[in-house]
Amino acid sequence: MRLVTAIILLVLAVSCAKNEAGNGLQHPNLILTAQGVSLMRSSLGKVPLFDQSVEEAKQAVQSEMELGIEVPIPKDLAGGYTHERHKANYFAMQKAGVLFQITGEEKYAIYIRDMLLAYAEMWPTIGKHPAERSYARGKLFWQCLNDANWLVYTSQAYDCIYDWLDEETRIKLNKELFRPYAEYVSVENPQFFNRIHNHSTWGNAAVGMIGLVMNDEELVDWALYGLDLEVPGDFVKDNDGGAIQLEGQKEAGFLAQIDHSFSPDGYYTEGPYYQRYAMYPFLIFAQALANKKPELGILNYRNGLLTKAVYALINQTNAQGEFFPINDAQKGMSLASRELVNAVSMAYHYGGQDAGLLSIIKSQGRVPLNDSGLDAAKGVADQEVVKFPYKSIELRDGADGTEGAIGILRSKSLTLVMKYAKHGMGHGHFDRLGFLLYDEKGEVIQDYGSARWVNIEHKDGGGYLKENHSWAKETIAHNTLVVNKDSHFDGKVDEAEKSSGVPYFFSATPSVHVVSAKEPKAYKDVELQRTMAVVDIAELEHPLVIDLFSAQAPVGTRFDLPLYYKGEFMASNQQFSANNNLAPMGEESGYQHLWAESQAKLKNDLLQITWFNNQRFYTATSVIEDGDEAILTRIGANDPNFNLRRDPGLIHRRKSGNTLFASVYEIHGSYDYATERPLNLFSSISHLTVLHQSADYAAIELTLESGATYQFTFSLNDDSKASNHSISTSKGKIEWSGVYQFIKTEK
């Protein structure tokens, strides 16, 4: 018995050795290559992060192997047993394949083979998944998307044992499992495969990768160029309300996905949460194409767009490496995800070994088990690891970069994000000109994110909750202006998709960072423009945020400007009167989910509230106009299943025509629970005045407690750097050239 094993291992070793010396057409040649495997083997024990990742993979696969081969008849939704089992299977197979190549231990190959044979056994016996909620039902899973996931991972495993398998088994698997599987997620479901959408990217990659493994050029063609098939007319929308066919869409397939999914800056219109998810098939298939079809030059496609997209993702994170939760997004998803572990190492390896990426790779604490991962792990071991150079950046949206953008301002430990991009398709939120603010400790002004607990069965199976639609997507759930109690575009995705926000100005000097954008179409007869600046002022501990929201609107328009501050309300300069009975603030557009806890008719010049979070103080100061009101809100009304967090907010309400909401946001002071000593717990702002507001200009003056006074003046309609401006104000005439001026005028 032992002798037999020894002989098998010997044969295996010879076979592996043969591969190493092969011509590149032998397997593995998808993600792993013979040359790469050879280098990995010789590096074992020498590159800590790589060794550690190998060790983790071994442990993960070991515990799966101990469970034995479990291939249950599909039944459950995400979070349920059969769903999670099939998902665990493909992760385990992918890892086992790599381990087989790296260690030469046949147990891994046997595990994969037996698992695949079990799938081959089951495949012809099952029909569509019993759950009927998807526009494209899978067979193993409730949606084709997950079936495609399975194939993307499993084709990597298959590639790793392809040459090891006997021919009979190989032919059986190709014919009875993989080709029919690939057909199912493509020609049998064109409404899934032929879209320009992250679902289809997975589908394209899945079919393309198995095609590359089997040398099935037809599949590879489908994957690259899409199907020459009409999508049946009964598929119009997916489950999220996204269109199956984009207006004027003429292409499909992987290359079209790259063309249409990303802007030239690598921004993905659905936002970073979905981009993260989509990046894995983009990059893994690209890696396979780079190995097997170098003539395509896929990594240079559109000026190296796929690498740019990785950088775009990195730029869309806070200090904890968590993605900005714009559009539908569960908070907490981060650079630590498996998709980014693959993506960042790949960007390092194929993108010129940028040392700035090493700090991220190091904090990820693991690397993918392939050429990229080995290279990245070596980089971490050999080089001084410097922090990724985050900086202010505008990421344009739209395939050609002309459909809006997001502006990210970074100054010291402060990060501000303003969104004036496209709607983001079915996962978009009605949040034009909304913003998010972070300091290095976390959220300061939050975006709600999606109303969803991903994969948590208690919460409607882990899918989107109905409050995602009724609350999280609505305008009032965001830090942006609500006009006449209605969401942007009346809450209609189709309308929102027709236009994007309009970038107006973006500039960053070391001490003044400015973004300004317009939104002319969210509301009929209303022109909105928001200008935000992050200014570093010598007198203050942290940079200060200036927020000038201009609206040109008919007289009598009602404006609600919410501010979802994070933390405990400390105090206000205004007299709020609390409600002892709470009723929902409205019946629709998200207002039905808000309680008004307290309100104030605003008096004097300023509205100021201070809150406390993470052992720090924060103050928002806003200029008020006669008749303004403020409401302290709490999320949670009409929420029978406790799907929403009970988070607080402040709404600044104004009835007006053309107007300007002028505010500044301060981060200040500290509090230590062990010393109980507060520092700098009050705002440093003593006055904030609007010096001028018109359709063409917005100007404010800011006075600190110290007496120091600053002016910020901004040209709303002339973005020429050369123009000279002059406005009359209560402080006399102010003149400047260029779009804005920020100056100290006193002390």
Helix/strand/coil for 485: coil
Report whether 493 contacts 353 (CB < 8 A). no
Phi, psi of 704, rounded to the nearest 5 degrees: -90, 165
Report whether 84 contacts 72 (CB < 8 A). no
Report the DSSP beta bridge partners of residue 277: none
Residues at the interface with its own copies (CB under 8 A): 79, 84, 322, 330-334, 336-338, 453-459, 462, 568-571, 576-578, 580-584, 595, 597-598, 610, 612, 632, 634, 636-642, 645-646, 648, 671, 673-678, 681-682
Joined tokens for residue 468: 């995602």
Cα–Cα distance measured from residue 337 to residue 333, given in angstroms and rounded to the nearest whole number? 7
Residue corresponding to tokens 């996962």: 427
Q: What is the DSSP string of 187-253?
A: TT-HHHHTSSSHHHHHHHHHHHHHHHHHT-HHHHHHHHH--S-PPPTT--B-TTS-BSS-TT----S
Question: CB-based contacts of 458: which residues, under 8 Å, 6+ apart?
Answer: none
Report the DSSP beta bridge partners of residue 546: 533, 664
Distance in Å, CB of 218 to its own copies, minimum: 34
Tell me which H or E stretch contains 691. strand 685-693
Catalytic residue among 427, 429, 513, 725: 427
Distance in Å, CB of 334 to its own copies, minimum: 6
Phi, psi of 441, rounded to the nearest 5 degrees: -90, -20
Cα–Cα distance measured from residue 201 to residue 206, given in angstroms and rounded to the nearest whole number? 8
Radius of gyration, alpha carbons of the chain:
28
Report whether 225 contacts 219 (CB < 8 A). no
Catalytic residue among 90, 274, 420, 438: 274
Nearest to 26 by CA among 193, 159, 124: 159
Nearest to 592 by CA among 640, 652, 653: 640
Closer to its own copies by CB, 362 or 645: give it.
645
Closer to its own copies by CB, 677 or 721: give it.
677
The verdict on whether 427 is a catalytic residue reads yes
Closer to its own copies by CB, 149 or 713: give it.
149
Distance in Å, CB of 141 to its own copies, minimum: 15
Alpha-carbon distances, residue 575 vs 560, 647, 666, 684 (angstroms): 19, 22, 21, 20
Distance in Å, CB of 674 to its own copies, minimum: 4
Distance in Å, CB of 428 to its own copies, minimum: 21
Q: Which residues does the annotation mark as catalytic? A: 274, 427
